[in-house]
Structure formats: structure tokens, C-alpha cells
Structure 1
Amino acid sequence: MDIPGVLEQLRGYNLSPMERVLAAHTGMVQLLLSLYFGEPVDVLLVAQTEENGNIRRETSLVLQSSRREACHAYSSIPLSINKPEVLDDIREGGLGLGQICVKHGIPEGRLIKVIMVTPQEITREYVIAAPGIVIREVFPRDLYE
């Protein structure tokens, strides 16, 4: 990871310290949000379909106490390069993708492709390299200022 390059890219957005962490963090987002808010964050399955050799999945990461959304995520999981037991857990819908990676010993390294910032939200898109999963996450900025 090019740390100076990432910092330079984020500098122009005038982000708070936590917003910088959200934009560039490469670990499990559910854990990061739970640590920030001091309470568990649940992953709720909003929608899931299988089409064109991929599972398309939409989830909401919500604070357990208030059910306020901390992140909304859209994922594309290729069927052809993931193990059947991983796909079974994804289809079941009870776990977040980060939890599934940990459960199955899949390296979670994330390669961030895009970071976009508006006054309302921070959006980032990345690939979990080992299983080829593409994820777009959207964070409402008013929660992190």
C-alpha cells in the first residue's frame, strides 16, 4: 500500500480522522464500526440474487441498539472461484463477508479501487483479492463528524 499516496488522495476531501479511517481501512468493516461505536454492529441482508455467474448482495450494517445504519454495502461474489462451503454461507445470509472470510481462513486483504466523497457520504469500492469479491460501501458522513 502506498501510504503517502493514500494520504495525499484523501487530503483534498477535508475528512475528519474517523472519515479518513473509513475511506482507507483495509480490514473487517463490521469490527471497525463496532469498535468506533462501542457496541455490536449487525449485518442485515437487504437483497440477494444470483445472475451471470455472480451472487449480487446488498447489506446494511446497523448499530445493534438503535438500528441506525452505519454503512450500506453492495457486493458481487463470483461463483466460479469460491468454494462451495463459502458460497453456502453467503447464500444463507446470516454473516457478513468479513465474518465469512475469517470463518473459512480466507485472506481478507482489500485492494481499494475507488474513493468518492460528497457532503453526505463517503463511498469506497474495493476487491477482497483472494476470492475476487467486489464490494462498494457507502457511509453516511453525519455519523462520523
Structure 2
Amino acid sequence: MYRFLRNRVRMVGITLPADCVGKFPRILCGSNPGNSGHLWVKTTFITGTMPLVIRKMPPSEGGMRRQFIPARLEDNPSMAKDDPSYMDRLSGLGSASLVKAMRDGDWDVVDGAFFDEWSNHQHVLTPFAVPRHWLRFRSGDWGSFSP
């Protein structure tokens, strides 16, 4: 649906002020980690980019510019002021990993997985040449998004 709607964003016959040239047309999206569409959003907007970096997408991805702006609960100070019980409701989600995802904007959370302590910092290595004397084996995981 997003890809379909993206082709409807166009500007014809409009002269933009100089300070707006290159900024329109635009699509603004907001989302939270978890639930339906989590992996699509993560793959489409987050994986392979650095936060706040603006990148020009190839024609196969619509050719528009794209930017990932991460957010944590603490980034919204009015939330604590205007809705002081929000953190209690968030804590009541029943899943520590989902609470972490919502509070910290953590898109690496895998809610409901048999391992709920995933951490890129702890579990992802910088690529290196595997020494010849190490045991090697193969395994497969059909995954949950794109087998």
C-alpha cells in the first residue's frame, strides 16, 4: 500500500518558494516497533542506514530522499507532564521486550521469540577471516519475513 500511495505524491503546476525547493513532495511516516508490519518498516526505513542521515533512494525505491529519525519516550517530555500514567500503561504490555521497544524505540526487539535478550552490541560481530582450524558447519532458519 505504501509503495502504491508513494506514486500519488506529486506536484504539478506549482511554483515553490526558493527555501522549499527540493523538500517537496514529501511523505512523513511515524511508527512504533512491534506488531504487524514491524519487519517491513525496519527493512524499508531503518536497516542499513544511520539515524538522521538523509539518503537519496534509487528509482526502484521511488527515488525520493529518506531519513530515519529515532525516538525514545524521553524525547517527548510533554508525555510525562500531560500523561503521567503512560509509563505504567506501557509497563503493563506484558512483554519486557515490547516495553523496551516502545520506551527506547528499539527496532531490534523480537517480541515473542524464544530469545528475548537480543542485543546487536553483544550478538553481532564485525566481519573477520575465520581461522582455518575452527570447526565449520551450516544451518538454516526460514525466518519470519523473507524465507
Determine if the TM-score, normalized by the shorter chain, exceeds 0.5: no
Structure 1 or 2, whichever has the larger Rg, is 2
**TM-score, normalised on structure 2?**
0.23
> TM-score if structure 1 supplies the norm length?
0.23
